[in-house]
Structure 1
């Protein structure tokens, strides 16, 4: 027997959160492609006697611009989480993480052994924990990226950040270790993105509440209580 409950429109994500999500996603794609080129050159310019190609410099410039955009998104999203009124539904999600009962019910839901638990806020405990981990890794990759940046550019912003970044570089065991940590963080983000996309599609299909619509339009469509 079909349920008589209707779906209602519920505003979930603010325009600021949606913009940072998609700008961050595009930045990560650009950083991945340009980062692979910097680490493993897979395209070479036409051979010429004139110093006009500078392909490596162009890829590095693209990587740096995308990197600073990513840092900007990280800072703005952090601000939204703590101070944005609409982001209150994200902050409330912390309560779900502290409930062992909801953890168990959520895992059972993903294993097709039970119904989705009633949660507070917008994220279930697995989502919230994975997002916190993602932002920690994002912080690490931005930090190591800045360390690599100041080792090449010593004026302007590079000069301003040079001394603190060199101190952090020493704590990490040197520039070679920093570069290795940067690469490891990149692979962790790759894995997160694959799992994130899969779970977003899974929840959208199984939940049938327009969960994926929310990150585009801001609205999801749960059933009336």
Structure 2
């Protein structure tokens, strides 16, 4: 009787070890999602947005003027230069990112394309919204962006970034002068806004919209890394999407 019990215990241990090995293998499942140009663009663009937000705030609310030689009190000049430089980095990055949407893999296109006519896509947008609102206990699993993230990236970030680049170039054209290469942006935008002051205000409000988006983006990425079924932040470093529960 004792030998029979021992044999069952040994069999159970073997089964447990086999199950543990299987789960260990499952946790190591990964798919290469984000190619290096996408990852490089992401982090360079994040740095550019940070510089643009900080310097843009001071441009809208300048530091007090100080007496003395102008060349000795050129802090706002350096701030404006940093803002312009970061703006050109952002613009060049967007051009490169649009190119890679065509040259890269299918996940590189998600930031610019929405499956408007797919009922499944919109149903899953609702499911993800419920998950983020803590109305669902368990999220779905996605290789690339989830549908809600894709919707936000296209409608808020991509459109918003292009808007900020165009309006920023129009404002830069005021200082660059007539006949500069930025005249096209100026001639396009000013008739739509009415005057330069309106353009400044709209550009400033656009900055706050991007800042709010970035705050939500960072929160969602950290939350998904902790609570969802796949890796998030490390994926944008290595390019590999790690799955926690493959097979479910």
TM-score interval w.r.t. the shorter chain? Answer: 0.7 to 0.9
1:200 aligns to 2:200 (yes or no): no
Contact 1:80 1:87 in 2 (8 A): no
- Counterpart of 1:76 in structure 2 is 96
**CA spacing shift, 1:109–1:168, aligned 2, 3 Å:** closer
- Counterpart of 2:212 in structure 1 is 191
Shift, 1:103, TM fit? 2.6
- Counterpart of 1:130 in structure 2 is 152
Q: Where do 1:26-41 residues align within 5 Å?
A: 26-41=47-62
Name the larger-Rg structure.
2
- What TM-score comes out, normalization by structure 1 length? 0.85
- Counterpart of 1:154 in structure 2 is 177
1:30-61 Cα offsets, whole Å, 9 max, x none, are 1111111111123666x434643322222111
Shift, 1:97, TM fit? 8.2
| Counterparts of 1:141 and 1:92, CA distance in 2 | 16
**CA spacing shift, 1:83–1:38, aligned 2, 3 Å:** same
**CA spacing shift, 1:197–1:97, aligned 2, 3 Å:** farther
| Counterparts of 1:104 and 1:167, CA distance in 2 | 37
- What TM-score comes out, normalization by structure 2 length? 0.78
Contact 1:13 1:86 in 2 (8 A): no
Contact 2:125 2:147 in 1 (8 A): yes
- Counterpart of 1:182 in structure 2 is 203
1:104 aligns to 2:126 (yes or no): yes
**CA spacing shift, 1:90–1:166, aligned 2, 3 Å:** closer
For structure 1, which segment, 84-93 or 6-15, has the greater mean C-alpha deviation from structure 2 after superposition? 84-93
Shift, 1:216, TM fit? 0.9
| Counterparts of 1:89 and 1:64, CA distance in 2 | 28
1:144 aligns to 2:164 (yes or no): no
1:48 aligns to 2:62 (yes or no): no
1:147-167 Cα offsets, whole Å, 9 max, x none, are 010110127xx7122145224
**CA spacing shift, 1:203–1:163, aligned 2, 3 Å:** closer
Contact 2:130 2:136 in 1 (8 A): yes
| Counterparts of 2:55 and 2:111, CA distance in 1 | 34
